[in-house]
């Protein structure tokens, strides 16, 4: 089936909530924050949260949420990326990342940064970021709690071949 990448639509929330809840990686608190951003994304503002939604066979398969880092010139954060666990390994996450990067390159972005946790449950997430060529640019030990570092991955978007 073909994958369609599109903007967030009103009505995507329930499908995205199902995907977030199905992921073993996100806590209830993290899901609540992701849903808050989805709610804000349904009413876009100039410098607000941006979304790319993946749709496969007419059903929402995943999404990415990103936005401009406040007070920066050309630096963006990837806030969330999630793919239906039943569809992992099919390139959907890779396509979502590429779509975000393409949009940002067209806007003249310099960096895309990703903050994630160092806890074992996020090992697959960190491996994914490495596969899509993000490098660890910072680590704060014991940031979230003892033994759970904050890890920042980044990619320069203005130096692509």
Per-residue pLDDT, averaged over 109-138, amounts to: 95
**pLDDT tens digits, 20-56:** 999 877 889 999 999 999 988 877 665 689 999 999 9
For the chain, the structural domain boundaries read 3-156
Q: What is the pTM of this model?
A: 0.92
Residue 1 has pLDDT above 90, yes or no: no
Residue 89 has pLDDT above 80, yes or no: yes
Percent over 70 (pLDDT), the chain: 96
Alpha-carbon span 98 to 16, nearest angstrom: 20
pLDDT band at 161 (very low <50, low <70, confident <90, very high): low
pLDDT band at 86 (very low <50, low <70, confident <90, very high): very high
Pairing of strands 50-56, 3-6: antiparallel
Task: State the chain's mean pLDDT as an integer.
Answer: 92
Please check whether residue 126 is in contact with residue 152, taking contact to mean a CB–CB distance below 8 angstroms.
no
Contacts of residue 84, defined as CB under 8 A and 6 or more positions apart, other chains included, come to 19, 22, 60, 61, 62, 92
Please check whether residue 88 is in contact with residue 96, taking contact to mean a CB–CB distance below 8 angstroms.
no
Q: Which run of H or of E encompasses 138? A: strand 135-145
Please check whether residue 51 is in contact with residue 7, taking contact to mean a CB–CB distance below 8 angstroms.
yes
Residue 19 has pLDDT above 90, yes or no: yes
CATH fold of 3-156 reads: Aminopeptidase (3.40.630)
Query: So what's the pLDDT on residue 139?
Result: 98
Query: So what's the pLDDT on residue 47?
Result: 63
Contacts of residue 78, defined as CB under 8 A and 6 or more positions apart, other chains included, come to 64, 65, 66, 97, 100, 112, 113, 114
Buried b / exposed e over 42-69, threshold 16 CB at 10 Å, is: eeeeeeebbbbbbbbeeebbbbbbbbbe
């Amino acid at each position: 089936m073909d994958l369609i990448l599109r903007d967030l639509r009103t009505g995507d929330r329930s499908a995205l909530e199902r995907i977030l809840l199905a992921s073993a990686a996100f806590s209830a608190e993290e899901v609540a924050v992701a849903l808050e951003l989805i709610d804000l994304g349904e009413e876009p503002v100039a410098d607000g949260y941006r979304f790319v939604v993946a749709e496969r066979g007419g059903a929402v398969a995943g999404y990415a949420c990103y936005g401009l880092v406040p007070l920066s010139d050309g630096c963006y954060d990837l806030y969330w990326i999630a793919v239906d666990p039943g569809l992992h390994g099919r390139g959907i996450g890779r396509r979502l990342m590429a779509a975000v990067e393409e949009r940002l390159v067209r806007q003249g972005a310099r960096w895309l940064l990703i903050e994630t946790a160092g806890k074992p449950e996020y090992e697959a997430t960190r491996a994914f970021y490495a596969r899509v060529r993000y490098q660890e640019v910072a680590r704060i030990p014991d940031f979230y709690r003892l033994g759970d570092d904050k890890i920042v991955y980044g990619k320069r978007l203005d130096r692509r071949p």
